[in-house]
Amino acid sequence: MKSLGVVRRIDELGRIVLPKEIRRNLGIRDGENLEIFVEDQTIVLKKYSKLKDYNDIIESICELTNNIYNINFIVTDRDKVIYAKNQEQIVSKDLDDVMLSLIHNRESVNNTDLMEIKFGNEKLIGYFNILPIISSIDCLGLIMIYSDIKLKEEYFNILKLLASIIVNKIDIS
């Protein structure tokens, strides 16, 4: 583990401040959750993805829907792709600034034009419908449909349904 040479004092409530440079380098945004655990004698802070805890359920829901409608789904958390039907090369790839902006602003895309989206060093060109997955007040990530051909209008409603199912499952657990 590389030391950055930063020392911080713990206050009377047990809090420490993570330096802005470290947060920026690791992509840790205000209000983001961190997982805290101990390895040997080391305290480890790790970015936490609630959606990753439900990856099996997300995969099942998307696979079932794909079997009915033959739709390719992509699901992300706040940083990376966690599921991609027929686009496995983008799984675990970082989101580009456009996707991060959609998450931050809780925006959806119901696109009728060709669009290019980058996932790490991979690029997809096609038609996308994109919807944020919002649980309580948190935007957990995005669910999207990707296709080489124009998407049917009803597909956006399917995205809304799947996002609702995912959120309900997370909120019930």
The confidence score (pLDDT) of residue 4 equals 63
User: Residue 125 forms beta bridges with which residues?
Assistant: 116
Q: Poorest-confidence range of 2-11, 14-23, 91-100, 106-115?
A: 2-11
Tell me the per-residue pLDDT of 31-76, one tens digit each, with 9 for 90 and over.
Answer: 777 888 888 988 888 877 777 778 888 999 999 999 999 999 999 9
Residue 173 has pLDDT above 60, yes or no: no
Sequence-distant (6+) residues with CB within 8 A of 171 are: 135, 136
The topology under which CATH files domain 1-48 is Pemi-like Protein 1; Chain: D (2.10.260)
Could you give the 3-state DSSP secondary structure of residue 5?
Answer: coil
Is the separation of the CB atoms in 101 and 107 below 8 Å? yes
Q: Where are the domains of the chain?
A: 1-48, 51-172
Listed residue (169, 136, 156) closest to 61, CA to CA: 169
Tell me the per-residue pLDDT of 89-142, one tens digit each, with 9 for 90 and over.
Answer: 999 999 999 999 999 899 999 877 899 999 999 999 999 999 999 987 788 899
The confidence score (pLDDT) of residue 1 equals 52
Superfamily of domain 51-172: GAF domain (3.30.450.40)
Could you give the 3-state DSSP secondary structure of residue 76?
Answer: strand
User: Residue 80 forms beta bridges with which residues?
Assistant: 94
According to DSSP, residue 3 is labeled: -
